[in-house]
């Protein structure tokens, strides 16, 4: 959510290098996969679910900015600075009893270059096919956030 709010203000804060890639899945596709697995006796074990495409923060920010109809500036945040900010934020959150902007655990996750998975096992074993890619999933998510009043409407 905060990622989108910063973007709304015209800032795309990138937490790592351009090479970082990660997987995403829209919650509706996750629910569909869960229901398929529950109803198929062949489903066993662990499944790594995504829409099947590795993304960068630039991919997410660029698509979201297009949907929001805004221009943005990119800021690359060094991990060391993010760690320091998270540590200070966690101390402040204990005093104020409000959630920090970002936690140390989240920054530790962001240090990793790849958080990528592919849904082939779920496709093969119980027929899961994601219906949303990054653009359509972001469009749906951002429009929902706007209807809920969490983001402003398109300028």
Distances (CA, A) of 64 to 3, 10, 68, 130, 141: 10, 11, 6, 20, 10
pLDDT the model gives residue 16: 63
pLDDT the model gives residue 20: 87
pLDDT the model gives residue 13: 85
**pLDDT band at residue 1 under the 50/70/90 scheme:** confident
Higher pLDDT, 68 or 1: 68
Which residue in 143, 134, 119, 123 sits closest to 60, CA to CA? 134
pLDDT the model gives residue 18: 72
CATH 3.40.50.720 for domain 2-80+112-145: yes
Kindly report the pTM of this predicted structure: 0.82
The mean pLDDT value for 62-75 works out to 94
Which range of 85-99, 104-118, 131-145 scores highest in mean pLDDT? It is 131-145
Q: Residues 118-132: pLDDT tens digits?
A: 999 999 999 999 999
pLDDT at 154 over 70: no
Domain boundaries, the chain: 2-80+112-145
């Amino acid at each position: 959510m905060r990622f989108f709010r910063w973007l709304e203000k015209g800032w795309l804060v990138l937490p790592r290098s351009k090479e970082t890639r990660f997987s995403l899945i829209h919650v509706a596709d996750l629910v569909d996969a869960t229901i398929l697995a529950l109803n198929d006796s062949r489903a066993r074990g662990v499944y790594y679910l995504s829409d099947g495409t590795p993304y960068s923060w630039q991919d997410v920010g660029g698509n979201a900015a297009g949907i929001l109809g805004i221009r943005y500036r990119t800021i690359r945040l060094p991990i060391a600075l993010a760690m320091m900010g998270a540590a200070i934020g966690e101390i402040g959150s204990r005093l104020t009893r409000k959630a920090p902007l970002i936690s140390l655990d989240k920054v530790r996750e962001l240090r990793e270059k790849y958080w990528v998975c592919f849904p082939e096992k779920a496709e093969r074993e119980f027929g899961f096919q994601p219906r949303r890619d990054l653009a359509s999933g972001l469009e749906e998510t951002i429009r929902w956030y706007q209807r809920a009043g969490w983001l402003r409407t398109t300028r």
